Amino acid sequence: MNNSDSKIRIALDTMGGDNAPQVEVKGAVLALRENLHDLFIYFVGKEEEIKAELKKENYSGDNYEIVNADEVITMHDSPAKAVKTKKNSSLVVASKLVKEGKAHALVSAGNTGAVTMASILNIGRLKGVSRPTIASPIPTEKGTLSRITDSGAFVDSKAEHLLEFAKLTDVFMRYVQKVDNPTVGLLNVGEENSKGYQLTYETFELLEKSDLNFKGNIEGKDVFKGTVDIVVCDGFVGNIVLKFAESVLPFLKKKFKDYANTGLLPMLQIGIAKSAVKKALHDTDPNYYGGTPLLGINGITIIGHGSSSAIGIKNMIYEAAKSQEADLIQKIKNSQ
């Protein structure tokens, strides 16, 4: 395999998404053709299917390699069991490329739980990290990008874990998103220190004593306002907030469509406004960001939506490339 240190090497789980491998191959080819980063991509998956998709894209070059993996971990598989038993799955083989140092990053739009387990079991956690965290992007009214951490790597956590999530995400914000001294808020049912339950009481105390730029408790209404750069919560709460946020755009689209179907005038009104609304809300589309990092792993892991488009896959690859260019893993190690 090509191990040139001059290139950013991405292990792409080509069979992971809902529309794999077509979307994965198309998205990767877009990234390779745009050439914004010096990339080398390992297409990991069913070789003949990958070759067929590359042929459709009319792409050839010396900046990719196909790594055959005949098994597929589906969205319905038990994450831990699948990672342990499907040794020749595209996800497991791709994660091992990172473990072996042949790739800098794992990129997958597959089963989130399985990607998390494959990263923990095959790539391994960084020394000093008890639990990794998924730090999902949240667009804000300010035009900035906040991160909610944890958004689903683990559904139950202790206060010490939440402090760790905040610290990991702080490093990511500083060096990948280039945010100086990121602000941190603890998601709670009120701004007062007395609000919440045992986990939030204990987490508040730890965050307050830390060297993070902690601004205290924030409420759900503050998430889209961009009150803080890092929203801290356990994975159970974080995943609910994230899934709710992601449901807003489809809900609005359905309401617009229903209104347009009520008559000719409403149809014309929606038609006229459609372009402007689409532009105004473009940064609420998950494909705009591509994916989200799993922080705390001894290698870069970017997790995307199963329904990711080719643009989404391309942006996932770019997110991985930016993390590698920022030397994220070493920066996290230095912060421990």
Q: What is the pLDDT of residue 1?
A: 41
Q: What is the pLDDT of residue 260?
A: 87
Q: Could you name the CATH architecture of 134-241?
A: 3-Layer(aba) Sandwich (3.40)
Q: What is the pLDDT of residue 2?
A: 44
Distance CA(317)–CA(105), nearest Å, equals 9
Q: What is the pLDDT of residue 5?
A: 64
Does 134-241 match 8-129+296-335 at the fold level? Answer: no
Q: Is 311 exposed, middle or buried (0-12, 13-18, 19+ CB in 10 A)?
A: middle
For the record, the structure tokens of 185 come out as 């808020």
Return the number of other C-beta atoms located less than 10 Å from residue 3's C-beta. Answer: 11
Residue count of the chain: 336
Tens of pLDDT, residue by residue over 263-283, are 988 888 888 888 877 777 776
Tens of pLDDT, residue by residue over 67-119, are 999 999 988 889 999 999 999 999 999 999 999 999 999 999 999 999 999 99
| Close Cβ partners of 142 (under 8 Å, ≥ 6 residues apart) | 225, 226
Q: Which residues pair with 13 in a beta bridge?
A: 44
Q: What is the pLDDT of residue 49?
A: 97
Quick one: CA dihedral 120, 126, 128, 131, positive or negative? negative
| Close Cβ partners of 112 (under 8 Å, ≥ 6 residues apart) | 134, 152, 303
**CATH number listed for the domain at residues 8-129+296-335:** 3.40.718.10
Residues of the chain short of pLDDT 50, as ranges, are 1-4
Contact 182, 170 (CB under 8 A): yes
Domain ranges of the chain: 8-129+296-335, 134-241
Distance CA(166)–CA(288), nearest Å, equals 24
Helices 159-175 and 198-209: crossing angle in degrees, nearest 10, is 50
